[in-house]
Amino acid sequence: MSGRGAWRRLVAAAALGLAATAGVWGSASAALADAARPLLQDTAGLLTADQASTLEAELERVSAEYRADVVIVTIRALDARTVEAYADDYFDYGPSLEDPALPGRDVNDGYGRGADRSGVLLLVSVNPRQAHITTTGQAIDIFTDARQDEIWDAIIPSLTNDRWDSALRRFVSEVDQTYRGATRFRWEIVALAALAGGLLGGLTPVTIWRRQLKSVKPAAHARPYLQTASLVLTSSNDTFVGQSTRVIHHNESSGSGGGGSSTHSGSSGISHGGSSRSF
């Protein structure tokens, strides 16, 4: 009787858990589908119309696949801002308000998907010949400093030789590869979590229930028979035995090496990762 009730409760709890999971998933996907800003902003006019539409389609595809805005912006000239500040502002406030001096700046017009505004933006400036990659949200962790170096190595030669289309297409394909590499282990993590959770949630209760069946065990000691009033300390002696010292030299350079991503905050207060190159 009680056993059947417990079964029913368990099944109900499982269904509830599944429903909650599906619900969160659904609302998350809905939130991610609202981006409508063009992902390619070739204001410098470096591409032909054909090249631009092909590149934009690629950007749309990659952005949709990895649920992050992958954006490319080209400009003729840089204003008073650094290439980093320009790129960050462009990502944070969107294409309509390029000049930060203008009133009515709104971060709601900016790029980025999901609550953490995930995305990556490449800014190419023709004068001066500088470029910047800015990363936001989850992309900060995916595009590590080391990974950004590799991307630069792949596209700088083309940029230097004014082969814009080749450079930008290469950028998109590098971003694609980076995301694919970063998301490749996802199902392993899920499987591992499921296994660990299953073992923990499965073995713990049955082990407890199994132990309930055992109550015969030999006595380990005779403590209950100690007359506590009879316990008398007759001698007590503490001695210093010795000491040993270990010396550790800490590495002072706190650089994040190959695994990390360095971050900074733009004028909007949103945290970004990124790096710049001249070409």
Q: Counting contacts by CB under 8 A, is residue 255 touching other proteins? A: no
Rounded-to-integer distance, Cα 121 and Cα 88, Å:
8
> In the bound complex, what is the minimum distance in angstroms from residue 33's beta carbon to other proteins?
14
Q: Which two tokens stand for residue 85?
A: 């500040």
> In the bound complex, what is the minimum distance in angstroms from residue 91's beta carbon to other proteins?
20
Handedness of CA 200, 202, 203, 207 (dihedral sign): positive
Using CB under 8 A, which of 8, 9, 14, 33 touches other proteins?
14
Total of chain residues touching other proteins, rule CB under 8 A: 78
Which range, of 6-14, 55-63, 87-95, 99-107, touches other proteins by CB under 8 A? 6-14
Instruction: Determine if the peptide bond prior to 157 is cis (ω within 30°).
Output: no
Q: Counting contacts by CB under 8 A, is residue 25 touching other proteins? A: yes
Which parts of 126-145 interact with other proteins (CB under 8 A)?
Answer: 138
Q: Counting contacts by CB under 8 A, is residue 190 touching other proteins? A: yes
Q: Cα 211–216–217 angle (5° rounding)?
A: 95
Distances (CA, A) of 180 to 54, 66, 170, 227: 21, 8, 15, 70
Which parts of 208-237 interact with other proteins (CB under 8 A)?
Answer: 209-210, 212-227, 230-237
* Neighbour count for residue 52 (Cβ, 10 Å): 18
Which range, of 49-57, 69-77, 85-93, 241-249, touches other proteins by CB under 8 A? 241-249
> In the bound complex, what is the minimum distance in angstroms from residue 8's beta carbon to other proteins?
12
Q: Counting contacts by CB under 8 A, is residue 102 touching other proteins? A: no
Which range, of 41-49, 75-83, 90-98, 110-118, touches other proteins by CB under 8 A? 110-118
Distances (CA, A) of 199 to 7, 133, 202, 203: 19, 43, 5, 5
Q: Are 56 and 63 in contact (CB under 8 A)?
A: no
Which range, of 7-15, 35-43, 56-64, 267-275, touches other proteins by CB under 8 A? 7-15
Rounded-to-integer distance, Cα 137 and Cα 112, Å:
8
**Residue nearer to other proteins on the CB measure, 198 or 257:** 198
Distances (CA, A) of 58 to 54, 64, 67, 69, 119: 6, 10, 14, 12, 15
Residue 252 backbone dihedrals phi, psi, to 5 degrees: -70, -35
Q: Counting contacts by CB under 8 A, is residue 57 touching other proteins? A: no
Q: Counting contacts by CB under 8 A, is residue 77 touching other proteins? A: no
Which range, of 19-27, 126-134, 154-162, 261-269, touches other proteins by CB under 8 A? 19-27
Using CB under 8 A, which of 77, 101, 243, 269 touches other proteins?
243
